[in-house]
Homo-oligomer: A and B are copies of this chain.
């Protein structure tokens, strides 16, 4: 298997990448507008973050008119998996159960939500 080893994303980058994912593709402006209201940074800052994400291998872009349209260069699933397993690694030495427990008790997740999780792990 090809372990790509993209440089890790910084916190700010980790916040911006999902905003691109959620529309498959997005211009700087769209991402800028999609920012939560409590997070005010300038358009230029977003442009920088997207550029850096591209340098790191998470995004790619092509021009459309005068603007750049950014889209994923790495599979969302993989990026998320990596991000989470890195956290689990650091915080819990690699054991994901404590994280599940934590979520179950501090995230307002219902037993119904939990019930629905069963069976997801079945490897095809």
Q: Is B114 a contact of A15 with CB atoms below 8 Å? A: no
Contact of A91 (CB < 8 Å), options: B18, B118, B120? B18
A8 on the interface (CB 8 Å rule)?
yes
Contacts of A105 in B (CB 8 A): 120-121
A101 on the interface (CB 8 Å rule)?
yes
Chain A contact-residue range equals: 35 or more
In the complex the two chains form, what is the Cα distance from A108 to B122 in whole Å?
A: 9
Q: Is B93 a contact of A120 with CB atoms below 8 Å? A: no
Closest to A11 in B: B90
Q: Is B107 a contact of A118 with CB atoms below 8 Å? A: no
With A117-B104, A120-B104, A121-B104 known as contacts, the answer to whether A109 contacts B96 (CB < 8 A) is: yes
Q: Is B118 a contact of A114 with CB atoms below 8 Å? A: yes
A106 on the interface (CB 8 Å rule)?
yes
Contacts of A114 in B (CB 8 A): 100, 114, 117-118
Q: Is A117 a contact of B101 with CB atoms below 8 Å? A: yes
A83 on the interface (CB 8 Å rule)?
yes
Supplied contacts A18-B91, A97-B109, 8 more A-B pairs, CB within 8 Å: A14-B90, A80-B102, A100-B103, A100-B113, A100-B117, A104-B120, A111-B121, A114-B114
